[in-house]
Amino acid sequence: MTLKQKFIHYVSANMISMIGLSLYILADTFFIAKGIGANGLTALNLALPIYNLISGLGMLIAIGGAAQFITYKATKNRHDANNVFLHGLILVLLFGAVFVFFGLAYSSELASILGATKAIHGMTSTYLKYVMIFAPAFMLNNVLSAYTKNDGDPHLAMIGMLAGSLFNIIFDYIFIFPCHLGMLGAVLATAFSPVIGILILLTRFINHKSSIHFEHIHFNINLVIKTFTLGFPSLINEISGGVVMLVFNYLILHIAGNIGVAAYGVIVNIYLVILAFFNGIAQGVQPLMGECYAKGNHEDLEKVRHHALILGIVIAIIVYLLTVFFKSPIVSAFNSEHNKTLQSLAETGLLLYFIAPLFASFNIITIMYLISINQPLPAQLVTLLRGIIILIPAALILSATMKMTGIWLTLPLTELLTALIAIKFKHQPKRSGTQY
């Protein structure tokens, strides 16, 4: 295939995969809004930071390992490629066991820590418990999907993700409405979804189509450290969403109460789908940029990055235009109780909050570019700027001076300031050897 064909092949499959993944929570948001109401939305939003943490650790292992895997694969080093993958499985088991323990033992206490009031404590605790029990499945699904893409089969990864999302949507409806299981039904549908994806992805191993083989390994702490170093930006990229939710939930509760948090829940869960487009582009070009870098093909590397950035900004513009024209029906779809305060807050929030994708697309693609060319420290800096360093002070200052308007403007300002700094890394000097 030509470079352009490879770009379309990988990016299209990965965008669909990431959109499918983001629909896990959006489906919960929609059906909880319809079947449970504003309190259910608030409970879901309070629990989501833990889901973000689980997803973030899964992406840390997946992207940190896959970035090494594609380099070894491009240079025909099959043993080390296998070794990276098997270490990833060990890490999934270790992290997963921790989440299972806390889910079984401390979900109620965690719900209280996250700010659940008496009215929503039970729902929040239930959602947390089952998401944490199924954490190994969420993380393993991320890892298998990333390696399947880097092993040359992005379409199987796409099918696995879409199958899981379809299962979630169908069983969200069945469990919440015909079965009347409420929040338990919503979280069970979400928790079993990655299991469907895993079963589909495992067919590549069963049919012996994968280049990865299971073999005896000796645990290598240096390999784990490199996985963490390369995957750290992906971890922060994921959990920054959780950080945003924690900070915003706390501030909004004091400004606009539970209805304000429910309005924010509508906005942020739609926003996760928008981010899926950009994460899909970034993860789609990661194998291409990694292969170009490993082979020293800097010209194609620049072409891939340029195409990705252009596609990202075009999608961001289209998203904002759709938001401007359709904000009212979008919010109404999640406002089953026809709460006027929720409707007004969410419509205003959409218009301001959704300025952020115009800059977020550049930042997300730049981070993946830096990871692909083995520059983890700049990638970590850009990630920390947009996830914590700029965002938290901006949220505190803007919410104190502009109330809810300040809340909605925090993310656009954060992404803009981060992009202005990230431009520095847009044109890296070409060097011989392993640096670029």
Q: What is the pLDDT of residues 146-167, one digit of tens each?
A: 899 888 888 898 899 889 989 9
Tokens of 143: 């890892």
- Residue range 360-415, pLDDT digits in tens: 999 999 999 998 888 888 988 998 999 889 999 999 999 999 999 999 999 999 99
Which whole number is the average pLDDT over 48-53?
89
Q: Under 8 Å CB-to-CB from 178, ≥6 apart: which residues? A: none
pLDDT in the model for residue 436: 33
Q: 130, 112 in Cβ contact below 8 A?
A: no
Q: What is the pLDDT of residues 56-81, one digit of tens each?
A: 999 999 989 988 888 888 887 888 88
Given this model, what pLDDT does residue 183 score? 93
According to the model, what pLDDT value does residue 77 have? Answer: 82
Closest CA to 42 of 129, 103, 109, 118: 118
Q: Give per-residue pLDDT as tens, 368-382.
A: 999 888 888 898 899
Position 18 pLDDT exceeds 70: yes
Instruction: Spell out the domain ranges in the chain.
Output: 3-425
The pLDDT tens digits of the residues spanning 159-196 come to 998 899 899 999 999 999 999 999 999 999 999 999 99
Binned at pLDDT 50, 70 and 90, residue 421 comes out as: very high
Cβ(47)–Cβ(120) under 8 Å? Answer: no
What's the pLDDT at 433?
40
C-alpha pair distances (Å), 66 with each of 150, 283, 326: 7, 10, 39
Tell me what pLDDT residue 427 has.
53
Q: What is the pLDDT of residues 95-114, one digit of tens each?
A: 999 999 999 999 999 999 99
Give Rg (Cα) of the chain.
21
**pLDDT confidence band for 429 (50 / 70 / 90):** very low
Distance CA 140, CA 431 (A): 36
Q: Tell me, letter by letter, the H, E, C secondary structure of 44-71.
A: HHHHHHHHHHHHHHHHHHHHHHHHHHHH
DSSP 220: -
The rounded distance, in Å, linking the Cα atoms of 384 and 367 is: 11
Burial 384-421 (b: 16+ CB within 10 A, else e): bbbbbebbbebbeebbeeeebebbbbbbbbbbbbbbee
Give me 205's structure tokens: 């191993």
Q: Which of 48-52, 76-80, 181-185, 246-250 has the highest mean pLDDT?
A: 181-185
Cα separation, 26 vs 393, in Å, equals: 28
The predicted model scores a pTM of: 0.77
Question: Residue 431's pLDDT band (boundaries 50, 70, 90)?
Answer: very low
Q: What is the DSSP secondary-structure string of 238-274?
A: HHHHHHHHHHHHHHHHHHTHHHHHHHHHHHHHHHHHH
Contacts of 275 (CB under 8 A, 6+ apart): 22, 241, 357, 360, 364
First to last CA, the chain: 25
Q: Token pair of 65, please? A: 């390992």
DSSP 219: -
Residue 36 has pLDDT above 80, yes or no: yes
Q: Is 38 a residue whose pLDDT tops 60?
A: yes
